[in-house]
Structure 1
Amino acid sequence: MYEKILVAVDGSETSKQALAEAVRMAKMTGGQLCVAHVIDVVAPLGMGLTYVPAELLASYRDEAKAQLEAARSEAKAAGVKCETQLLELSTVTQGVADCLQDCASRFGAQLVVLGTHGRRGVRRAFLGSVAEAFARNAECPVLLVRGVPA
């Protein structure tokens, strides 16, 4: 039962809650975690992007590595085997959910744990939902951890 669990982190409080739940699940099942962080340089900078300054990309990578290391430490403290994946979108048309789907397939995930911000209405329509897009096309069970709506 759930020997391989993928959890995505992005630094938000909601993803921290998802990580805590994934660690609990892995500890209960004796499973291992794969903690993934996706760097999306297109969304924050817009679709007309043709050049990403190296310093900006380096700062994104440094922050992502720090988040992944914190997640690894949390899992290790709980006695849970953990690997991390720093992912970057490979094309302008690829979304974060697609990138996570690819990671889940490569890892052989039997469960994916994602935080959801609980946005509704226009805010959800405008911002989209990685969790919703992922769950719609998931090839394995998905556990959504609801954050406190803003």
Structure 2
Amino acid sequence: MKKILIGVDDSKFADHAIAYGFELAQKLGAAVGLVHVIQPVPMMEATDTGVGMPIEGVVNYVAPELMDLQQQGSENMIDRVITKYGHGEDISHFTEFGPTAEGIVDCAKKFHADMIVVGTHSRTGLDRLFMGSVAEHVVRYSPVPVIVVPMPKEEEK
């Protein structure tokens, strides 16, 4: 294992997985890649109905200013992770735009990762049905092994 990709977000679940991923990388002498995926928020835009009356509709439009703010927030988050956990390791970082799980899998290919480390919210039942499972999607479609790091029950609260 020469390269480990770690999924980063602003949750305690991800923070737990990040710590695990950095510890593993240190033990293996592996380079670390950090990836944060931003899901663009579609904006409402007035469209012309053809009869002179504008209507509001959701279109695939994302304001460049919002994307810049999201990019800056992502870079700040990754900087905090590097400051907290990076102790001389070779660290690369990526910000992807799109669905989270697909972004992680695509980044693993670009980074030529040998392994992916992600956290899990441990959702079950209807919550998982409605929210989906990023970790499950990554495991299913990853070209490399995936370690899914659960949060210890006592730390979830």
Q: TM-score, normalised by structure 2?
A: 0.81
Query: 1:75 touches 1:81 (CA, 8 Å); kept in 2?
Result: no
Choose which of 113, 134, 138 in structure 1 pairs with 2:138.
134
Match of 1:110, as an amino acid? D
Q: How does 1:1-150 map to 2 (within 5 A)?
A: 2-42=1-41, 48-76=58-86, 78-89=87-98, 95-147=99-151, 148=153
Where 1:136 maps in the other structure, the secondary structure is helix
Larger radius of gyration: 2
Q: By how many angstroms is 1:57 displaced?
A: 2.2
Q: Which amino acid aligns with 1:119?
A: R
Q: Distance in 2 between matches of 1:45 and 1:27?
A: 42
- 1:40 Cα deviation from its structure 2 partner: 0.4
> In 2 relative to 1, CA 53–100 (structure 1 residues): closer, same or farther, beyond 3 Å?
same
Percent sequence identity is: 30
Contact 1:72 1:83 in 2 (8 A): no
**Separation in structure 2 between the aligned mates of residue 81 and residue 101 of structure 1, nearest angstrom:** 20
Whole-Å separation in 1 of the counterparts to 2:43 and 2:121: 22
Q: Which letter maps to 2:137?
A: A
Corresponding residue SS for 1:27: helix
Structure with the larger strand share = 2
1:72–1:84 Cα contact (<8 Å) kept:
no
Report the 3-state secondary structure (helix = DSSP H, G, I; strand = E; otherwise coil) of the residue aligned with 2:105: helix
Q: Please give the secondary structure, in 2, of the residue aligned with 1:10.
A: coil
Count residues in correspondence: 142
Question: Offset at 1:59?
Answer: 2.1
Compute the displacement of 1:138 (Å): 1.7
Specify every segment of 5 or more residues in structure 2 that has no aligned partner in the other structure, as ranges. 45-57
Contact 1:75 / 1:82 at 8 angstroms: preserved in 2? no
Amino acid at match of 1:62: Q
- Which amino acid in 2 is paired with 1:67? M
Structure 2 match to 1:92: none
Mapped to 2, the partners of 1:106 and 1:75 lie a distance apart of 23
CA distance, structure 1, for counterparts of residue 124 and residue 84 of structure 2: 31
Paired with 1:124 and 1:53, the residues of 2 have a C-alpha distance of: 30
Shift of 1:34: 0.3
Please give the root-mean-square deviation of Cα atoms over the aligned residues, in Å: 2.1
Between the aligned partners of 1:129 and 1:56, the Cα distance in structure 2 is: 26
Contact map agreement 2:43 2:63 (CA 8 A) in 1: no
Letter in 2 for 1:137: Y
